[in-house]
Chain A
Amino acid sequence: MEITVTVNGEKTEADIEPRNLLVHFLREDLRLTGTHVGCDTSHCGACTVLLDGLPVKSCTVLAVQTDGRDVTTVEGLAQNGELHPIQEAFKEEHGLQCGFCTPGMMLTSAALLEQTPDPTEEDIRWALSGNICRCTGYMNIVKAVQWASSKMKAEATDSGS
């Protein structure tokens, strides 16, 4: 089946089997291997990508369903060689240990900050409750989201004045 999907801002045409899952399409067909396969049963959130701006588990979406839609993966977070504030934040606050869950964590966090620029700690923990970190480094992940929130607010104020 032929689909046209915008991945990280770039229109991409592909001819795929309907049974091809979004995560395999991204990793194997487009070679965007930043999206990880964790549990493969839609529990862990390692494969989280944004579909029209909302976090979804790409192991539980058919690639054909994304025809005509926008997909953002971790590779799409940095713009013009500049890290996204959430990426910078994970680095600054050491929001990762092994790094396997990190792409999903960052995408879910980026979507949260888009909708709730000033989240409480509870908002953050609630939003990330579908993403599992088996190093259990949640404390620093929460700190990283708070760091990114501050940074993004400061940037918004700077550019607004």
Chain B
Amino acid sequence: MFPSRFEYVAPRSLEEALSTLAGRGDEAKVLAGGQSLIPLLKLRFASPALIVDLNRVPGLSYLEESDGHLRIGALARNRDVVASQTLEAGYPTIAAAAPLVSDPIVRNLGTVAGSLAHADPAGDWGSVMLALGAEVTVRSASGDRTIPVADFLVDTFTTSLEPTEVITEIRVPKPEGSSGGTYLKLERKVGDFATVAVAVQLALDDGRIGRAGIALTAVGPKNIQAIDAERSLAGAEPTPESFQEAARLAADAASPISDVRGSADYKRAVVRTFVQRGLDRALELARAS
């Protein structure tokens, strides 16, 4: 398999990339790690006239903490996230998810930002970033804008990114006070799409639950934020009962389809179990922090 013909440019600066997109964004696709885009090109699900390869643009590979945020540059690879020693303590949900994204070889090239831009409902980062309340900073020739991930992920393979824009970074607010979180993923084998995965983030406020973030992977047309479950937890006591109720509400929020990976009922049951387990783990981490 090989892609249909396209023109290829590898700009040396972001300005150059943005000016190209300003003129020809409608017929272009931006290439970062390529681990989702290149398969799409090969299967001819996408046939853009122009590929704008960002990989020669310097200064986009960072993964750093500043002004109360973890900032993930557009070219930070999954490999970099796995290797980062600083995430375990402050961002356990990210640290738990990174080694579960695809397989080690794909992680050498695939990027966090590219995964979000691809907006596959089975993508792991969409759920993680929803649970963490992250934002996506995008840039076009006419300026920057910052979009909450919940607004960025519109539908299956559809984001609110304009054809003239590129993602420059993901901004994850540093969880405050006593907090914890995790990512649980069921997959048939390494590298397969998730059967079901769940991201959970919990902050404690004086013994009660402050902010709770719960999001679901591969059980709907996009990564699903389990808003009712989150609301049921906010201000509640972290008890087995409140966690069970949140797990039930999260399972209700899922709309899985039956396929080769499992029946819809089975997947919904996995959501329920994973949310409960995830909350238990998040609480354990929050109390230890």
Contact residues in A for B6 (Cβ distance below 8 Å)? 18-19
Q: Tell yes or no: A60 within 8 A of B by CB.
A: yes
Q: Is the CB of A42 within 8 A of B2?
A: no
Q: Is the CB of B106 within 8 A of A64?
A: no
Q: Is the CB of B105 within 8 A of A64?
A: no
Q: Tell yes or no: B1 within 8 A of A by CB.
A: yes
Smallest Cβ distance from A142 to chain B, in angstroms?
A: 15
Q: How far is the CA of A127 from the CA of B42 in the complex (A)?
A: 26
Q: Tell yes or no: A65 within 8 A of B by CB.
A: yes
Q: Tell yes or no: A40 within 8 A of B by CB.
A: yes
User: CB within 8 Å of B: which of A30-53?
Assistant: 40-43, 45, 48
Chain A residues within 8 Å of chain B by Cβ, number: 30
Smallest Cβ distance from A119 to chain B, in angstroms?
A: 13
Smallest Cβ distance from B9 to chain A, in angstroms?
A: 9
* Contact code string A1-21 (vs B, CB < 8 Å = 1, else 0): 100000000000000011111
Contact residues in B for A73 (Cβ distance below 8 Å)? none
Q: Is the CB of A130 within 8 A of B8?
A: no
Q: How far is the CA of A18 from the CA of B109 in the complex (A)?
A: 18
* Contact code string B226-256 (vs A, CB < 8 Å = 1, else 0): 0000000000000000000000000000000
User: CB within 8 Å of A: which of B1-49?
Assistant: 1-8, 10, 31, 34-35, 38-39, 41-42
Q: How far is the CA of A20 from the CA of B2 in the complex (A)?
A: 7
Q: How far is the CA of A17 from the CA of B103 in the complex (A)?
A: 29
Q: How far is the CA of A18 from the CA of B31 in the complex (A)?
A: 13
Which of A17, A18, A64, A131 has its CB near the most chain B CB atoms (within 10 A)?
A18
Q: Is the CB of B7 within 8 A of A130?
A: no
Q: How far is the CA of A37 from the CA of B166 in the complex (A)?
A: 32
Q: How far is the CA of A56 from the CA of B107 in the complex (A)?
A: 9
A18-B51, A60-B34, A62-B8 are contacts. A24–B2 as well, Cβ < 8 Å?
Answer: yes
Q: How far is the CA of A56 from the CA of B78 in the complex (A)?
A: 13
Contact residues in A for B42 (Cβ distance below 8 Å)? 21, 40-41, 59
Q: Is the CB of B105 within 8 A of A61?
A: no
Q: Tell yes or no: B53 within 8 A of A by CB.
A: yes
Q: Tell yes or no: B191 within 8 A of A by CB.
A: yes
Q: How far is the CA of A67 from the CA of B6 in the complex (A)?
A: 17
Contact residues in A for B39 (Cβ distance below 8 Å)? 41-42, 60
Contact residues in B for A45 (Cβ distance below 8 Å)? 103, 105
Contact residues in B for A54 (Cβ distance below 8 Å)? 79, 108
Contact residues in A for B4 (Cβ distance below 8 Å)? 19
Q: How far is the CA of A127 from the CA of B55 in the complex (A)?
A: 25
Smallest Cβ distance from A87 to chain B, in angstroms?
A: 20
Q: How far is the CA of A24 from the CA of B1 in the complex (A)?
A: 10
A57-B106, A131-B105 are contacts. A42–B35 as well, Cβ < 8 Å?
Answer: yes
11 example contacts (A-B, Cβ-Cβ < 8 A) are as follows A18-B8, A19-B5, A20-B2, A21-B42, A41-B42, A60-B109, A64-B8, A65-B10, A108-B104, A126-B104, A130-B105
Chain A residues within CB distance 8 Å of chain B = 1, 17-21, 24, 40-43, 45, 48, 54-57, 59-62, 64-65, 67, 108, 126-127, 129-131
Beyond A60-B39, A61-B34, 9 additional contacts (C-beta under 8 Å) are: A18-B51, A19-B3, A24-B2, A42-B39, A56-B109, A62-B38, A62-B53, A127-B104, A131-B105
Chain B residues within CB distance 8 Å of chain A = 1-8, 10, 31, 34-35, 38-39, 41-42, 51, 53, 55, 79, 102-106, 108-109, 190-191
